[in-house]
Amino acid sequence: MEQVKLTRRSFVAGATAAGALAALSLTGCSGGSSEKKDDGAKSDDGAKGGTLTGACAYSSTNVNPIGNSSALMLAATWHVFEGLYDLDLHTYKTYNALAADKPTKISDTEYEVALRDGAKFSDGNEVTADDVVNAINQNMADATYGAFLEFIKSVEAKDAKTVSIKLKYAFEALLETRLSVVKVFPKSLSEDELKTNPIGSGPWMYKSINGDDGGAIEFEPNPNYNGPKPASADNMHWDVLLDDTSRTTHLSEGTVQVMENVPDANADQLTAAGATVDYVQGFSLPFLMFNTVKKPFDDYRVRQAFFYAIDIEKLIKNAMNGHAAAVTSFLPKNHANYHEASTIYTYDPEKAKSLLEEAGATGMSFELMVNNNWVKNLSAQIKNDLDAIGLNCTINETKIDWAKFAPSDSELPYDVMLTPGDPSCFGNDPDLLMSWWYGNNVWTTGRTCWQKATDGKWNELNDLMQKAREASASDQQGIWNQCFDILAEQVPLYPLFHRELATGYQADKIAGFEPIATTGLVFLGASCK
């Protein structure tokens, strides 16, 4: 019987105080170092046979690679599409994907990138610089990814195989990492094709797509792929199973080789069935999000009261079986850019009551909208803790329809939301992680609506974030620390804890597979046994 591996991998920043990319330290408690080297070299000659199989914990029908942020479909894009550079989610290092080499530096604010010789989309057409320029421009204009790419001034095709990129300011240390969020597709694709069955230049291509709960995504190798990570099986099949029991059954019975998001309650069942369960510390977290333009949630004291009212240690013990760490800053403690925030929330019901009284919100009634995935298991205790300080909390467990929380002149239809998130699937430098939830994008123009708040704190934060982007490497950390302090004080959207992500797999059925510290499954380099 395999033992549960309590693998606590260090989650380090994509940008240290010196501004350089750092890798994840991959140390397994059960057997020494398991560091995975990737120098971008061609790792395989092609498919080895069989079908790679996985059980996915999230659903989505959005296959469009532009601005994709769903846990399910973003993982799919890692296999179907390429950027100029791609991110190895095991190490957080980039490697050459469509790019033939690293960017050629023309000046501090101008670079050129040559495309890989012979790169083709799965339909057989060559990838051109025009395709890359179109993809970058569309993602720059996207409400979700735009904040990641705001440092780009312009991009154009120098010739058919060379892309010229001009920046607003020097950004060399993170240029490749940020370019990796842009996945390239044929410029000729229509909007409908992007939304239904897009094609890319990656090692896999879509065969059929049903991302609804109970559906499946079928992949087959891209016969035209000539990059560093070719498909290593004849087919790949992902079952979309939101129900924890269903995913557990699929893995324990060997219906799939890999299971995403193992519930702690099912770990022993899986190991008894011969599976391995790895816990990997990362940036995965549940958060409370407030409608910051709706009274009384426009008052940061009310928002703070929620965090003082919730017994996080009890929540971690009972709901997470200890596989999480209480928040002492926006970043987890093992992040290289960690800074202990000036405001730390410990269980203090009396302080919560005092804050509500100061804000004139004692005894208020409100709805807690709860996403119907793993965070629903947290909601009962959260409600009890909030009710215990005199609030009247009604839980609305639902599948979040994010379209309802787009920027609007009308007040958004929610009070407080409990839902999970993890932008480290795009990268792990502090600026990116903050930009995801607090930048000039849909999160702050809609959703939290924090950009519309009249207290000026969003402007203060974003001025500091911009200052850090343009600062010398030695000054960045101090500026980021000020940002972390603002977030901890204002909590428009803030984590309850940083979670260890559990992935289960049948080691006797799959080779070369390794869990990652973020949502999604990566089968690149994996093969059937």
pLDDT of 446: 94
Using alpha carbons, select from 14, 8, 2 the residue that is nearest to residue 425: 14
The count of residues in the chain is 529
- Contacts of residue 462, Cβ cutoff 8 Å, sequence gap at least 6: 438, 439, 440
Token code pair at residue 58: 């999230």
Range of lowest pLDDT (5-14, 186-195, 249-258, 442-451) = 5-14
Token code pair at residue 333: 């403690």
Using alpha carbons, select from 91, 355, 95, 55 the residue that is nearest to residue 213: 55
- Measured CA to CA, the distance from residue 449 to residue 417 in angstroms comes to 13
pLDDT of 373: 84
- Contacts of residue 416, Cβ cutoff 8 Å, sequence gap at least 6: 288, 289, 290, 291, 297, 306, 366, 367, 368, 369
pLDDT of 472: 82
- Contacts of residue 24, Cβ cutoff 8 Å, sequence gap at least 6: 9, 10, 11, 12, 90, 91, 92, 517
pLDDT at 25 over 90: no
- Measured CA to CA, the distance from residue 241 to residue 508 in angstroms comes to 23
Top pLDDT among 42 and 51 is at 51
pLDDT at 29 over 60: no
Residue located via tokens 């000020």: 482
Q: What is the mean pLDDT of residues 47-63?
A: 92
pLDDT at 47 over 70: no
Token code pair at residue 113: 């990138």
pLDDT of 463: 97
pLDDT band at 15, cuts 50/70/90?
very low
Top pLDDT among 372 and 312 is at 312
pLDDT at 348 over 60: yes
Residue 474, φ and ψ in degrees, nearest 5: -70, -20
Question: 402-421 pLDDT, tens per residue?
Answer: 889 999 999 999 999 999 99
pLDDT at 204 over 50: yes
184 secondary structure, DSSP code: -
Average pLDDT, the chain: 90
Q: What is the mean pLDDT of residues 9-38?
A: 33
pLDDT at 35 over 60: no
pLDDT band at 334, cuts 50/70/90?
confident
Using alpha carbons, select from 6, 8, 7 the residue that is nearest to residue 333: 8
Taking 3-state DSSP, the helix, strand and coil percentages for the chain, each rounded to the nearest 5, stand at: 30, 20, 50
pLDDT at 36 over 70: no
- Measured CA to CA, the distance from residue 262 to residue 244 in angstroms comes to 7
Using alpha carbons, select from 74, 180, 184, 73 the residue that is nearest to residue 122: 184
What is the DSSP pairing of strand 93-96 with strand 85-88? antiparallel
pLDDT band at 378, cuts 50/70/90?
very high
Top pLDDT among 158 and 91 is at 158
Residue located via tokens 């792990």: 428
Range of lowest pLDDT (132-141, 194-203, 261-270, 500-509) = 261-270
Using alpha carbons, select from 155, 160, 148 the residue that is nearest to residue 134: 155
- Measured CA to CA, the distance from residue 374 to residue 57 in angstroms comes to 9
- Measured CA to CA, the distance from residue 59 to residue 216 in angstroms comes to 10
pLDDT at 7 over 90: no
Question: 457-510 pLDDT, tens per residue?
Answer: 999 999 999 999 998 888 999 999 999 999 999 999 999 999 999 999 999 999
Using alpha carbons, select from 262, 234, 236, 230 the residue that is nearest to residue 249: 262
Q: What is the mean pLDDT of residues 275-287?
A: 94
pLDDT at 17 over 80: no
Using alpha carbons, select from 347, 301, 300 the residue that is nearest to residue 497: 347
pLDDT at 37 over 50: no
State the CB neighbour count (10 A cutoff) for residue 90.
Answer: 23
pLDDT of 365: 98
Question: 74-131 pLDDT, tens per residue?
Answer: 999 999 999 999 999 998 899 999 999 999 999 999 999 999 999 999 999 999 999 9
pLDDT band at 225, cuts 50/70/90?
very high
Report the predicted TM-score, pTM, of the whole model to 2 decimal places.
0.83
